[in-house]
Chains A and B, each alone.
Chain A
Amino acid sequence: MCYGHRVATLYGDVILDRFKHPRYLGELDAPDATYEDVNPLCGDRIRVEVRLHGGRNGAEIEAVRYRGDACAIALASADLLAEMVEGRSTREAERVDRDALLGALQAEIRPSRLRCVTLPLDVFRAALARLRTGNPR
C-alpha cells in the first residue's frame, strides 16, 4: 500500500518552509522589550524580543526576533509575525491579529492547534505592553 502523497501536504509549504528556513529566529543585541510565555496545553514556550527605532519611546518597530521550544506551526507563526510587524508602527503592529496570521500561514489549522498560531501573537503583544508600562523584562 502507498499512502505517501498526503503527508507531503502536511501543514502546507509556508509552514514547512518557515520551520526549516526561519528568517527571524534568534536574539537581538539590545532589545527594548522581551516577553516569554508558555502554552499551558502543551508546554510550548516562545520568547519574543522587540527593538524600536529611537529606543523604548520610539514609534516604529526596528527588529523582532524570537526563540522557542515549540511546534512547527508556532515557530512558523512567530516567523511570519516578525516579518509582518518589522518596519511598522507599534500602533499598526498591535492590529495584526489571528486572522492575519492564519491568512499568512496558508494552511488549514485545526481548532486543537489554533493556540499554536496565537501563542507568538500573545507573547508579542505582551512585549509591546511592557513598552507602554515601562517595564522592559
Chain B
Amino acid sequence: MTLGERVRDDFPILRRTIGGYPLVYLDSAATAQKPRAVLDALRAFYERSNANVHRSIHTLGEEATALFEAARDRVRAFIGARFREEIVFTKGTTEAVNLVAFTWARRALQEGDEILLTEMEHHSNLVPWLLLARERRLRLRQIPITDDGRLDLPALDRLLTRRTRLVALTHVSNVLGTVNPVAEIVERAQAAGARVLVDGAQAVPHLPVDVAALGVDFYAFSGHKVGGPTGIGVLYGRREVLEPLEPAFGGSEIIKEVWLDHVTWNDLPWRFEPGTPPIAQAVGLDAALAYLEGLGWEAIRAHEADLTREALPRLAEVEDLTLYGSRDPEARVGVVSFNLAGVHPHDLAAALDAEGIAVRAGHHCAQPLMRRLGVLGTTRASFYLHTTIDDIERLGAGLRRAHEILGLGRLRSGVR
C-alpha cells in the first residue's frame, strides 16, 4: 500500500464528492488539506484549554501558554533552528517577509544598495521589496532562470556585487516545483557580505529543512500549507541578526516596560508578536508537524518522488499539452504546471472541476515568471501526502476530455 492510500482516511475532506465525483484534491500548494490530528487538536484546545497566553494566572491560561510555547519548540526542532528565540509566529509567509522588510531591511539598507531576487519569486517575496526599494531608492536585481526552470547560477558571480545587501529567494518554486540550491547560494551570498532570506512556503511541506545547516539569516513559511490552520506562519531569524532589531508594530506583548514617554522592548521572539497571537493556530500547527514527523521524511520524499515520476510522462502524453519546468523528478517537488494549447487556464481548471478535480489556474502570484515563460498563466496540479496514482490517472483522463472539448481553442486571439 502506498503512503497516499495509507493516509487517505486521515483526511476527512477527501470523503467529499463534487457534482457526484469523488474529490481529487490537487491544489495542496495553494493550501493543504488538514489531517484529523489537526482538527482534533484545534477542537480539544477550544473545548478544554482556551485562554489568552502569557499574562493569565489561571489554570487555563497556564495551559494555553504551555501549548503555545510548546508549538514554538516543535517548530524550532522541525526546521533545525538552534534557539527558540529565533522562531517568530506571524500570520503567514507574506507577513514574515514583510516583517524582515520592516525591521532588518529598513535599518540596514541605504540608497543605492541592491537586493538580489530571482525570476521565479512569488509576489509575496517581490512586492515587499518593491515597496522598500521605492522608499529607500534601492536597486532590485534578479537571478535569471534557465529554460527548464532552474536558477542560472553562473549569473550569480555577475549579480552579486559589493552593493548586494540581501539575497531573497524562494526555496521551491510554487509554479515549477524547482528546488533551488539554497546552501550554495547562501555560501556565495554571505561570502559577498549579503544576508539571505528564504521563502520556504513551498519547501517545508515537502522537504526536510535545516535552517542552521543551510546557514540562512531568515526563513519564512506558512502553517496552512503544511496541513496546519490558516492564520499562522513562521519567521525564523538568526538570533544575532534579530537581537538588535526594534519591533515592526507597536502593541502589547512586544514591550518590557511602558512609560508615558518611552518603552523598553521585550525579549526575542515576543518582541515581534504584538497583540494576542494565533494561539489555537499554533496548537494546530504543532499537531500538523507532529503528523509529518510520524510519517517520516524518508517515506514522504519517496512517495512524492514516485508521484512526480509517474505524473510527468503521463501528462506529457496528453495531446497539445506543454509542461513547464525540469523533466528531472529529482530536481523538483510534486508541483506540476502545464498548458493545453489554445485553452485558457481558467477554462481548463473549470473543465477539471466538472469532474471533481481541484487544480489551480492563473498567474499563481508570479506574473514576472509568467512573462518569462511567455504565457498568460498556467494550470497547476500539486501533490501531497494523500495523493495517489489513481488521482493522477483521473487528472490525465480529465485533461484528455478537456482537450476534446476545448482543445486548440481561441486563446491568444492576441491583444498583447
Q: Which A residues lie at the B interface, using CB under 8 A?
A: 3-4, 6-11, 16, 19-20, 22, 25, 36, 42-47, 67-73, 75, 113, 116
Interface hits, B361-406 → A, CB 8 Å: 362-363, 367, 376-377, 394, 397-398, 401-402, 405-406
Given contacts A42-B362, A67-B414, A69-B412, contact A6 B19 (CB under 8 A): yes
Q: Are B347 and A7 in contact (CB under 8 A)?
A: no
Would you give 23 A-B contacts (Cβ < 8 Å), ordered by A? A3-B355, A6-B19, A6-B21, A6-B355, A8-B405, A9-B354, A10-B350, A10-B406, A16-B405, A19-B406, A25-B413, A36-B415, A43-B362, A44-B376, A67-B414, A69-B411, A69-B414, A69-B415, A70-B344, A72-B410, A73-B347, A75-B410, A75-B413
> Which residue of B363, B367, B413 contacts A67 across the interface (Cβ within 8 Å)?
B413
Take A4-B401, A10-B354, A72-B344 as given contacts and tell me if A45 and B415 are in contact as well, using a CB distance cutoff of 8 Å.
yes
Judge whether A10 and B405 touch: CB under 8 Å: yes
A20 CB contact (under 8 Å) in B20, B398, B409, B412 = B409
Q: Mark B336-370, 1 if CB is under 8 A from A, else 0.
A: 00000000101100110011100000110001000
Q: What separation, in Å, do the CA atoms of A4 and B350 have in the docked complex?
A: 14
Is B416's beta carbon under 8 Å from chain A?
yes
Does B355 lie within 8 Å of A45, measured CB to CB?
no
What are the residues of chain B within 8 A of A9 when measuring CB–CB?
A: 354
Chain B residues near A10 (CB, 8 Å)? 350-351, 354, 405-406
Taking the closest CB of chain B, its distance from the CB of A136, in whole angstroms, is 18
Footprint of A on B, CB under 8 Å? 19-21, 344, 346-347, 350-351, 354-356, 362-363, 367, 376-377, 394, 397-398, 401-402, 405-406, 409-416
Q: What's the minimum C-beta distance from A116 to chain B, rounded to whole angstroms?
A: 8
Find the B residue at minimum CB distance from A16: B405
Asked if A47 and B19 sit within 8 Å, CB to CB, the answer is no
- Within the complex, the shortest CB–CB distance from A71 to chain B, in Å, comes to 4
B20 → chain A closest CB, angstroms: 8
What chain B residues lie within 8 Å of A71 (beta carbons)? 344, 346-347, 411
Contact partners of A72 in chain B: CB under 8 A: 344, 347, 406, 409-410
Least CB distance, A70 to chain B, in whole angstroms:
7
B333 to chain A, nearest CB (A): 25
Chain B residue contacts of A73, Cβ below 8 A: 347
B126–chain A nearest beta-carbon distance, Å: 16
- Chain A residues whose C-beta falls within 8 Å of the C-beta of B346 in the assembled complex: 42, 71, 113, 116
A89 to chain B minimum Cβ distance, whole angstroms, is 28
Say how far A18's CB is from chain B's closest CB, in angstroms.
Answer: 9
> How distant is the Cα of A42 from the Cα of B416 in the complex, in angstroms?
15
A69 B350 Cβ-Cβ under 8 A: no
Contacts of A25 on B, CB cut-off 8 Å? 410, 413
Cβ contacts under 8 Å, B350 to chain A: 10-11, 113
* Residue from the set B344, B351, B356, B412 with the largest chain A CB neighbour count within 10 Å: B344
Cα–Cα distance between A47 and B414 once the two chains are bound (Å): 10
- Distance of A8 Cα from B363 Cα, bound (Å): 26
B413 adjacent to A69 (CB under 8 Å)? yes
- How far is B401's CA from A44's CA once the two chains are assembled, in angstroms? 24
Choose one: B356, B410, B414; the contact of A19 (CB below 8 Å).
B410
For the complex with contacts A68-B413, A71-B411, 14 further pairs of A-B residues with Cβ separation under 8 Å are A7-B351, A7-B398, A7-B401, A10-B406, A16-B406, A19-B406, A46-B415, A47-B415, A67-B414, A69-B413, A69-B415, A71-B346, A72-B406, A116-B346
Q: A43-B362, A72-B344 are in contact. Are A7 and B413 (CB under 8 A)?
A: no
Contacts of B19 in A (CB 8 A): 6
Q: Which residues of A contact B397 (CB under 8 A)?
A: 3
How far is it, in angstroms, between the C-alpha of A63 and the C-alpha of B381 when the chains are bound?
Answer: 42
Q: How far is the CB of B405 from chain A (nearest CB, A)?
A: 6
Shortest distance between the CB of B27 and any CB in chain A (Å): 14
Contact B377 A43 (CB under 8 A): yes
Contacts of A68 in B (CB 8 A): 413, 415
Across the interface, name the chain A residue whose C-beta is closest to B377: A43
Q: How far is the CB of A25 from chain B (nearest CB, A)?
A: 6
Provide the bound-state CA to CA distance between A44 and B363, in Å.
10
**Chain B residues whose CB sits within 8 angstroms of the CB of A70 once the complex forms:** 344, 411
Q: Which residues of A contact B394 (CB under 8 A)?
A: 3
Bound-state Cα–Cα, A45 to B413, Å:
11
- In the complex, how many angstroms separate the beta carbon of B342 from the nearest chain A beta carbon? 9
Bound-state CA distance A78–B351 (Å) is 21
Contacts of B367 in A (CB 8 A): 43
CA distance in complex: A25, B411 (Å): 12
Once the chains bind, are A3 and B413 in contact (CB under 8 Å)? no
Residues of A within 8 A of B415 (CB): 36, 45-47, 67-69
B355 touches A22 (CB 8 A): no
Q: How far is the CA of A70 from the CA of B376 in the complex (A)?
A: 9
CB pair A7–B402 under 8 Å, yes or no, is yes
Contacts of A67 in B (CB 8 A): 413-415
The CA of A113 and the CA of B361, in the complex, are separated in Å by 13
Shortest CB-to-CB span from A48 to chain B, Å, is 10
